[in-house]
Structure 1
Amino acid sequence: MNYVLALFLPPLSILLLGRVFLSIIVFLIWVPAIIFSGGLTHPMFIVLAWILIYQNHADKRERS
């Protein structure tokens, strides 16, 4: 069960930021990368999600 959640975590976090197109692209790259590399690209997508989250918060602070 935890593996399934980890499988969808980076695309889901990007989707929750409201970036639907980017989350679909990440999902399409993410799943084969997990299957073929055994998770070696995992940190790259986690960093991408964190950058987008930080950028979203920075945008909100800038508007205020």
Structure 2
Amino acid sequence: MNYVLALFLPPLSILLIGRIFLAILVFVIWVPAIIFSGGLTHPMFIALAWILIYQAHADRRAGG
């Protein structure tokens, strides 16, 4: 069960910050990348999600 959650964590976190198109795109790339590379691309997508979350928080602080 935890492995299934880990599979969807980067696309889900990107979706939760409101980037719907990017979340779908990441999901489409993410699942085959996990299957074919054995998880070698995992850190790249985690970093992308963290950068987008940080950017969303920075935008919110600048706008408010």
Shorter-chain TM-score tier:
over 0.9
Note the alpha carbon deviations across 1:13-63, whole angstroms, 9 max, x for none.
000001000000000000000000000000000000000000000000001
SS at match of 1:40: coil
SS at match of 2:29: helix
SS at match of 2:14: helix
Corresponding pairs, count: 64
Alignment of 1:14-53 (within 5 A): 14-53=14-53
Over aligned residue pairs, what C-alpha RMSD do you find?
0.3
- Identity, in percent, stands at 83
Structure 1: stretches of 5+ with no match in the other structure: none
Query: 1:2 Cα shift?
Result: 0.7
The whole-number CA distance in structure 2 between the counterparts of 1:60 and 1:7 is 28
The whole-number CA distance in structure 2 between the counterparts of 1:63 and 1:24 is 27
Structure 2: stretches of 5+ with no match in the other structure: none
